């Protein structure tokens, strides 16, 4: 009997964040700084580990999942759509250069 192969594409194997994800992360970093919230505090507010928050938001080493992004926006009391609009505007501006 053969062993089933592991599915690929889990969160750890997705690779670095895309440019759009990086722009989302930049806006989240700015909002965290504006609100003077530490990663430890954000971890407590969201339930997302500090290591995961650092890997995604600060290091752009992995993209956020939609659930994580929603949890972070809710914890920061910011509108998810607004974050996407800001990132989209920055993305379009970069494309024009």
Q: Is 10 within a domain?
A: no
CATH code: domain of residue 31: 1.10.260.40
Q: Domain containing 56: what range?
A: 16-96
Q: Is 9 within a domain?
A: no
Average pLDDT along the chain: 87
Q: Is 6 within a domain?
A: no
For the entire predicted model, the pTM comes to 0.80
Predicted confidence band of residue 3 (pLDDT cuts 50, 70, 90): low
pLDDT, tens digit, 9 for 90 and up, residues 25-53: 999 999 999 999 999 999 999 999 999 99
Residue 14's pLDDT is 63
Q: Is 47 within a domain?
A: yes
User: CA 9, 68, 92: angle at the middle one, nearest 5?
Assistant: 85
Q: Is 42 within a domain?
A: yes
Q: Is 41 within a domain?
A: yes
Q: Is 62 within a domain?
A: yes
- Is the pLDDT confidence value at 7 over 80? no
To which residue do tokens 């939609």 refer? 66
Structurally, the chain folds into a number of domains equal to: 1
């Amino acid at each position: 009997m053969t062993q089933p192969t592991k599915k690929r594409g889990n969160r750890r194997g997705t690779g670095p964040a895309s440019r759009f994800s990086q722009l989302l992360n930049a806006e989240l970093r700015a909002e965290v700084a504006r609100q003077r919230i530490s990663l430890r505090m954000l971890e407590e507010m969201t339930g997302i580990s500090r290591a995961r928050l650092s890997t995604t938001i600060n290091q752009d080493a992995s993209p956020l999942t939609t659930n994580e992004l929603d949890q972070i926006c809710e914890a920061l009391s910011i509108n998810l759509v607004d974050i996407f609009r800001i990132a989209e505007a920055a993305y379009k501006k970069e494309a024009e250069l």
